[in-house]
């Protein structure tokens, strides 16, 4: 293990009236309805649909006779099916939210590996780092961009950052291409710290699985199409490239607005790694939702637009998020807190770019909210019920 600063929230969740009441109300939601926190029939149907479309679109690509433009279109179609699988299936599995069974969650989470991304590296970077300490410098790996971007007020501003709101969408287009080709390998070599998890040696089994699934992905996405698709060879390479450019931009469109905007907080840990808040309050202050009233967006995105409840309770399957978000919103209103959301996906992304512009043009740029809020309004707590999950 590597010696370094350990991060910790100064307050326990139960010391905050808002956090305690919210936790009790979420528990009561499941107990009073006698339903599981995990996958329900809707979730199982989404899983079957996603895997069926993955097989069907790939088989169509290999067996059809297409022009170059049509091959590109088939790659894009198959790529968005992969993205749908990641949002709606693998994401829940890697958070332990799909099932009470660790084995089932691991199998479901491996859908990431089918789409070219290592589920092992993702769990390190996402669960152990980002989810544990969102928007905290040195703990949240999503803040690391190699100085290409300035995401927080604590980042050093460089002259070229004044244009980051303009070049960011173009760079974002490369993110999934980088992910399947370079990112996972890069983090295996340089990644020693993920939040409070310090690693010197990666488990051999995880490495074998990573390299095997990467080889599988390159084979079925590039080698087999080059051999069997009835179209010029360059159609396959163009299809692969265009697919990832569109997927990369879509990933940024979905994920960047949740935390990187002018209404989010960017707290700093002290020299001992102490964060002056409790976990649920911290998530509430650093995370925003968008398109909450759009049921299609919620369905197709695996409710990742409802990001506040996801960060507070990542072990709950996403099909429950719309109802639980209403509980978050009403509880926040009772405590005098501002639940932050944007009505549309486009509006949320533009708000992200505005924040990038502010950060790129002012050394002392600060978000609208940057301090610890103390809930003042009391709210009744529901009585606990016997667990029936």
What are residue 197's phi and psi, to 5 degrees? -90, 120
Confidence of residue 318 (pLDDT cuts 50, 70, 90): very high
Which residue reads 């700093």 in tokens? 268
Report the alpha-carbon distance of residue 230 to residue 285 in Å, rounded.
53
Confidence of residue 369 (pLDDT cuts 50, 70, 90): low
- Is pLDDT at 371 greater than 80 in this prediction? no
352, 256 Cβ separation under 8 angstroms? yes
Q: pTM for this structure?
A: 0.90
355, 301 Cβ separation under 8 angstroms? no
Residues forming a β-bridge with 71: none
Secondary structure percentages of the chain, helix, strand, coil, to 5: 60, 5, 35
For residue range 150-178, list pLDDT tens digits in order. 999 999 999 999 999 999 999 999 999 99
- Is pLDDT at 16 greater than 90 in this prediction? no
The region, left, alpha or beta by phi > 0 then psi within -120 to 50, assigned to residue 198 is beta
Average pLDDT over residues 305-323: 97
Q: Determine the longest span between alpha carbons in the chain, in angstroms.
A: 67
Torsion angle of C-alpha atoms 169, 173, 176, 182, degrees rounded to 10: -100
Which residue reads 């003042």 in tokens? 376
Provide CB contacts within 8 A for 210, sequence distance 6+: 113, 118, 120, 121, 184, 188
- pLDDT on residue 41: 96
First and final CA of the chain: distance in angstroms?
A: 37
- Is pLDDT at 64 greater than 80 in this prediction? yes
Q: Where are the alpha helices (DSSP H) in 64-154?
A: 68-85, 91-94, 102-109, 111-114, 119-122
Pairing label, strands 341-342, 289-290 = parallel
- Is pLDDT at 389 greater than 50 in this prediction? no
Residue 233: exposure state from Cβ atoms within 10 A (0-12, 13-18, ≥19): exposed
- pLDDT on residue 373: 54
pLDDT > 90 fraction of the chain, expressed in percent and rounded: 80
Average pLDDT over residues 241-250: 98
45, 53 Cβ separation under 8 angstroms? no
- Is pLDDT at 5 greater than 80 in this prediction? no
Average pLDDT over residues 9-31: 89
pLDDT > 70 fraction of the chain, expressed in percent and rounded: 93
263, 232 Cβ separation under 8 angstroms? no
Count of C-beta atoms within a 10 Å radius of residue 346? 13
- Is pLDDT at 43 greater than 50 in this prediction? yes
Question: Strand locations in the chain, DSSP E?
Answer: 8-9, 193-194, 197-198, 274-275, 289-290, 341-342
- pLDDT on residue 384: 47
Report the alpha-carbon distance of residue 131 to residue 110 in Å, rounded.
19
Which residue reads 């020693």 in tokens? 192
Mean pLDDT (the chain) is 91
């Amino acid at each position: 293990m590597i010696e370094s600063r350990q991060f910790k929230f100064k307050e326990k969740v139960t010391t905050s009236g808002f956090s305690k009441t919210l936790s009790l109300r979420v528990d009561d939601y499941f107990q009073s309805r006698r339903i599981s926190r995990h996958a329900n029939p809707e979730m199982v149907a989404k899983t079957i649909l996603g895997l069926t479309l993955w097989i069907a679109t790939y088989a169509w690509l290999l067996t059809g006779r297409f022009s170059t433009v049509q091959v590109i279109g088939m790659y894009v179609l198959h790529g968005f099916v992969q993205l749908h699988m990641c949002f709606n299936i693998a994401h829940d599995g890697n958070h332990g939210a799909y099932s009470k069974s660790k084995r089932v969650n691991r199998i479901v989470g491996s859908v990431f590996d089918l789409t070219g991304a290592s589920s092992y590296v993702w769990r390190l970077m996402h669960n152990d780092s980002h989810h544990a300490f969102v928007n905290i410098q040195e703990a949240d790996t999503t803040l690391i961009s190699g100085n290409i971007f300035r995401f927080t007020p604590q980042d050093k501003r460089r002259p070229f950052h004044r244009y980051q709101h303009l070049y960011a969408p173009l760079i974002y287009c490369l993110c999934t291409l980088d992910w399947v080709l370079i990112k996972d390998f890069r983090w295996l070599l340089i990644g020693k710290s993920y939040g409070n998890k310090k690693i010197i040696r990666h488990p051999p089994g995880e490495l074998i699985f990573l390299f095997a699934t990467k080889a599988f992905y390159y084979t079925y996405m590039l080698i087999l199409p080059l051999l069997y698709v009835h179209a010029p060879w360059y159609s396959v390479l163009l299809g692969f490239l265009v697919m990832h450019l569109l997927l990369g931009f879509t990933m940024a469109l979905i994920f960047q607005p949740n935390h990187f905007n002018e209404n989010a907080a960017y707290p700093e840990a002290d020299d001992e790694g102490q964060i002056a808040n409790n976990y649920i309050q911290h998530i509430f202050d650093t995370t925003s939702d968008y398109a909450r009233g759009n049921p299609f967006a919620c369905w197709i995105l695996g409710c990742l637009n409802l990001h506040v409840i996801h960060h507070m309770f990542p072990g709950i399957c996403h099909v429950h998020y719309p109802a639980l978000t209403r509980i978050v919103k009403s509880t926040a209103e009772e405590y005098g807190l501002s639940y932050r959301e944007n009505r549309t996906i486009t509006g949320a992304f533009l708000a992200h770019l505005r924040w990038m512009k502010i950060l790129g043009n002012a050394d002392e740029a600060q978000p609208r909210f940057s301090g610890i809020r103390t809930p003042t309004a009391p709210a009744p707590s529901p009585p606990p019920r016997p667990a029936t999950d």
